[in-house]
Structure 1
Amino acid sequence: MGSANETEHTFYDAAILSEAKTKRDVISFLAKDLFEKGYVNEDYCKATLEREDNYPTGLATKPIGIAVPHSNPENVLKEAIVVAIIPKAVKFAEMGNNASLIDVGIVFMLALKGENNHLNYLKNIVNYFKQQENVLSFHALRSKTQMKSILLQDILKVQQ
């Protein structure tokens, strides 16, 4: 099926976090899930929480913010990206501005090995969510299958 590309072995998943009340809840739940599936090591959760405190990843997309928490590559065993919808938005600090809090309703947990990968994915995510209607329609989804399909085809544009 064509030439191999770097996304071929990446695991993609989707979650709906109805119970999440804080960014810590969101990151802990997603990191625990990735750890249990063997994609990240036991330090990933703590490292991602610390990184988020020091280098926040909240993006003030309208009308609902998104966040892209991730850890350093040494905590990643196998690459994975999980998108989560948080029906009742939680506070994340804004990227580049710790003092500014954003109501985040969509989170992309990135477990990637190379810094360039983060930047490529981030660019695709930001481009997709520049459109308010994309933010609204994605945040309204309650089907993990649909979320994953949009993640792969429309946001990340992964060839399958």
Structure 2
Amino acid sequence: MNLLDLFDEQLVHFDLEAESSDELLGKMVEYLEKRNLVKDTYRQAVIEREHKFPTGLPTKVMSIAIPHTDVVHVNQSCISITRLKKPVSFREMGNSNNVVEVNLVFMLALNGSQDHLKVIQKLISLFSLEDVMKDLQKANSKKQLLNTVFQAIHEMETI
């Protein structure tokens, strides 16, 4: 599986607003449902999983969340990206007592059971690159945001 194939400009959203992580996840799932990329069970499953296994990830530049759920809820693998107008609270991955104010969400909808761990590891590596995070924060278009992701992934894979 090529990680770059999971991204689509139509699944990138700017300035989305939500009062809670549940509301945000619901809005993001709507876009996936309209394109028939996920089953009607995905919404509830991704919200429940986020409650049990939080995915908020603080970085030096801005906080990220990587919500996802089981493969049985996915029709076609993809990654949806949302940069928020204002941060939304998520609980921290690995320390659910902490709350992080998330600015950027990478929602995974993967239908291959082996893919989740590999994709999450690659994304976390990407998020650890401060220059990339700054470029993601500064991006002012879907195309610019995706180009930043593509370039960083390409560079990681050629190292």
**1:105-132 CA distance string (max 9 Å, x none):** 1110000012331211212211122133
Q: Which residue of structure 2 lines up, in the alignment, with residue 71 of structure 1?
A: 69
Q: Which residue of structure 2 lines up, in the alignment, with residue 62 of structure 1?
A: 60
Q: How does 1:10-159 map to 2 (within 5 A)?
A: 10=6, 12=8, 13-155=11-153
Report the TM-score when normalising by structure 1: 0.85
Q: Following the alignment from structure 1 to structure 2, what is the Cα–Cα distance between the partners of residues 132 and 42?
A: 36
Partner SS for 1:15: strand
Preserved CA contact (<8 Å) 1:17 1:26 = no
Q: Following the alignment from structure 1 to structure 2, what is the Cα–Cα distance between the partners of residues 158 and 21?
A: 35
Going from structure 1 to structure 2, the CA distance change for 1:158 and 1:9 (only over 3 Å counts) comes to: farther
Identity of aligned residues (%): 29
Report the TM-score when normalising by structure 2: 0.86
CA RMSD in angstroms, aligned pairs only: 2.2
Q: Following the alignment from structure 1 to structure 2, what is the Cα–Cα distance between the partners of residues 105 and 156?
A: 24
Partner SS for 2:114: helix
Partner amino acid for 1:46? Q
Q: Following the alignment from structure 1 to structure 2, what is the Cα–Cα distance between the partners of residues 16 and 69?
A: 17
Preserved CA contact (<8 Å) 2:91 2:99 = yes
Preserved CA contact (<8 Å) 1:23 1:90 = yes
Structure (1 or 2) with the greater helix fraction: 2
Going from structure 1 to structure 2, the CA distance change for 1:60 and 1:158 (only over 3 Å counts) comes to: closer
Greater Cα shift, 66-75 or 144-153? 144-153
